Amino acid sequence: MLSTSDVGAFEVPESRPWFKYYDPKVPRHLIYPRIPLYCLLDESAARHPDSPCTNFFGKQLTYQRVKELSDRFAAGIRGLGIRKGDRVVLLLPNSPQFIIAYYGLLKAGVVAVPLNPLSSERELEFYLTDSEAGAAITIPLFLNKVIPLKGRTPLRHIICSRLADFLPFPLNLGQGFRERISMHGLNRETLVDFKDLLRQSPRPDWRAEAVEPDEMAVLIYSGGTTGVAKAIMLSHFNLVANAHQIIAWGQLTDEQGILAVLPLFHGFGMSVTMNAALLAGGEIILLPRFDARQIARAIQKYKPSFFIGVPTMFVRLSNLPGIQRYDFSSLRGIFVGAAPLTRAIKDEFEAKLKSTGKEGGRLIEGYGLTEAVTAIMANPYKGMHKVGSIGIPFPDVDMKIVSLDEGRDLGPGELGEIVLRSPTVMLGYYKNPEETRKTIVDGWLHTGDIGYVDEDGYFYITDRKKDLIIVSGFNVFPREIDELIYQHPKVKEGISIGLPDPLKGERIKVYIVLKDGETATQEEFIAYFRERLTPYKVPSEVEFRAELPKSMIGKILRRALREEENRKAKES
């Protein structure tokens, strides 16, 4: 490491009850190197240059090769006139070029702005304008919504990369044909070829841009703790610290591969399956999108040690016909986050794993939020695991529960807001100091999540502050309803929301996707809830759907359903 100066501002009181449940090899405190994030890649390349870094449908790139290509990209991006502190958008699926471009941008001193490639043209216009990004890196499939934004936004350069360039034979042939078709009729003179930027070696005197650890490295858009889209500023130090925390907790090594199906543009995928994996020096098995059968095949073929996902991924895997035929025995850890993991989902997936006779590791629930990079706590990898709990804090993460009204500290079992301190807490919201001041108070990040801590220091989330439903003055936590939905044998997936009601203030509506071949009625489900809930918690309406709106990482979007209901109400 370039430096090993300790950061003492994040010491957690030794009296915290969760320390006694740490796995034996997990230290209570870590030493964080004060280095730019790009050093994680360079140092792993120096330690084991010939080890596989990326695996894209069987085509591997070594650590040395990825390091060299990121150097070339950094030099090439400078050649376009992009300078230190400028913002550049990454509009890419999981692929080798995402990692090459991300680390290349950091080496050029540029701020990376990873975005969902499925964003609409209207959304992209907002992101490009708000971030003032001067360049965007994308693939042919998305050019038709990026090119029109030149002239309407600060966008000056569009860098186009073909997935076919990093695929093995013969997959590259079919993908190359599809990409040529999608580029037909486009003015290629307006584009910069990603491959051209990689062809020229940097000058002998070329060096990565010197950056301070506390400078912004990534600008990542998120719903935020208030539900309003905003850009979160993460420093090099935030990201380096989180990578070290994840490595310590999961005990990752350079001999272990990680399955990267979570989008790298999302904080969870970026921090766990890319940055932490690169620090460990393991192989990153890249998949551009979630497909249950493709996931099962990849686990059996490439034998990763770790799989990181969200609950809906495990619902789909559990319902995959013939899952018993696949060998998941290589998996040492399956970490779940980004949305609550119900007991029903956990039990069903683990039962399916056991039915193969070659099951992998258990499902380990954790928690994080983009304002703290993402993963900041989890159930112990090997130690005591409490079903329904989001676990205990990582090293140097301090957490507590405070009252919703006055912000006073609460004791075990008392319901309030989860707040935390950590070396991973964001620099702030971009161009939004007022919202930053509301969210970070006296060094404590207010998460907007409601929950409690037990006597052992294990934390539990009951709901989002903004998702709380108030029926006739009584608080109803949607997660309690959601747990019951998933316990019903006919249900594939479902969710509950609160809607305005002239008499009660709010009423509860649930949306349900039934398992294939099942039928049910609203009356049947309301009777089911009535048997199991206090009267004010019983939903008044059940709607059956073929599918539910989801984010790119598969999280069911409660907010989208509320917005849909609001539109219906206005129209009527």
- What is the CB neighbour count within 10 angstroms for residue 198? 22
- Name the phi and psi angles at 361, rounded to 5: -70, 170
Local confidence band at 1 (pLDDT 50, 70, 90 cut-offs):
very low
The C-alpha atoms of residue 238 and residue 216 are separated, in whole angstroms, by 9
- Domain membership flag for residue 493: yes
Look up the CATH number of the domain holding residue 133: 3.40.50.980
CB 471, CB 505: distance < 8 Å: yes
SS3 at position 275: helix
Band (pLDDT 50/70/90 cuts) for residue 43 is very high
Report if residue 303 sits inside a domain.
no
Q: What is the mean pLDDT of residues 476-491?
A: 90
Stretch 222-241: mean pLDDT, rounded?
Answer: 79
The answer to whether 198 and 73 are in contact (CB under 8 A) is yes
- Domain assignment present for residue 494? The answer is yes
Quick one: pLDDT at residue 226? 44
142 contact partners, CB below 8 Å, separation of at least 6: 91, 117
- 95, 144, 110: which is closest to 38 by C-alpha? 110
Phi and psi torsions of 384, nearest 5°: -65, 125
How many of the other CB atoms lie within 10 Å of CB of 567?
10
CATH number at residue 532: 3.30.300.30
- Residues facing residue 10 across a β-bridge: none
Q: Residues 502, 505, 510, CA angle at the centre, nearest 5°?
A: 100
The answer as to whether 242 is a domain residue is no
| Band of pLDDT at residue 4, cut at 50, 70 and 90 | very low
- Asked if residue 279 lies in contact with residue 307, where contact means CB atoms within 8 angstroms, the answer is no
What does the alpha-carbon distance between residue 556 and residue 100 come to, in Å, rounded to a whole number? 31
Residue 231 within any structural domain of the chain? no
Say how far apart CA 424 and CA 242 lie, in whole Å.
6
Q: Which of 184, 211, 238 is the last residue of a domain?
A: 211
The answer to whether residue 227 scores a pLDDT higher than 70 is no
- Domain end: 191, 211, 231, which one? 211
Q: By the 8 A CB rule, do 114 and 90 touch?
A: yes
Planar angle of CA 264, 440, 6, nearest 5 degrees: 70
| Distance of alpha carbon 317 from alpha carbon 349, whole angstroms | 8
What pLDDT is stored for residue 539 in this prediction? 96
Within a 10 A sphere around the Cβ of 478, how many other Cβ atoms? 22
What digits encode the pLDDT tens for the residues 489-536? 999 999 999 998 877 778 999 999 999 999 999 999 999 999 888 888
How far is it, in rounded angstroms, from Cα 537 to Cα 539? 6
What is the rounded average pLDDT of the residues 420-439?
95
- Please state the separation of Cα 475 from the chain's center in Å: 29
Collapse the DSSP code of 356 into the 3-class scheme (helix H, G, I; strand E, B; otherwise coil) and give the result: coil
The whole-angstrom separation of Cα 10 and Cα 13 is 10
Closest CA to 274 of 395, 31, 424, 102: 102
Residue 268 domain flag: no
CA trace torsion 527, 528, 533, 538 (10° rounding): -50
pLDDT at 403 over 80: yes
Query: Structural domain of residue 539, as residue ranges?
Result: 468-571
Q: Which residue has the tokens 């159930």?
A: 379
The rounded distance, in Å, linking the Cα atoms of 242 and 419 is: 17
pLDDT given at position 9: 52
Of the residues 211, 233, 263, the one at which a domain ends: 211
Cis peptide leading into residue 170 (ω within 30°): yes
DSSP secondary structure string for all residues of 148-171: GGBTTBS--EEEE--GGGGSPTTH
- Please list the residues that pair with 365 across neighbouring strands: 336
Give pLDDT, residue 356.
63
Hey, what amino acid is at 19? F
Nearest to 515 by CA among 489, 492, 482, 539: 492
Tell me which of 194-203, 334-343, 556-565 is least confident: 334-343
Residue 359: what pLDDT?
54
Give yes or no for residue 15 having a pLDDT over 80. Answer: yes
Is 395 inside a domain boundary? no
Average pLDDT, the chain: 90
- Amino acid (one-letter) located at 510: V
Domain count across the chain:
2
In angstroms, rounded to a whole number, what is the distance separating the alpha carbons of residues 328 and 318? Answer: 13
Inside any domain, residue 107: yes
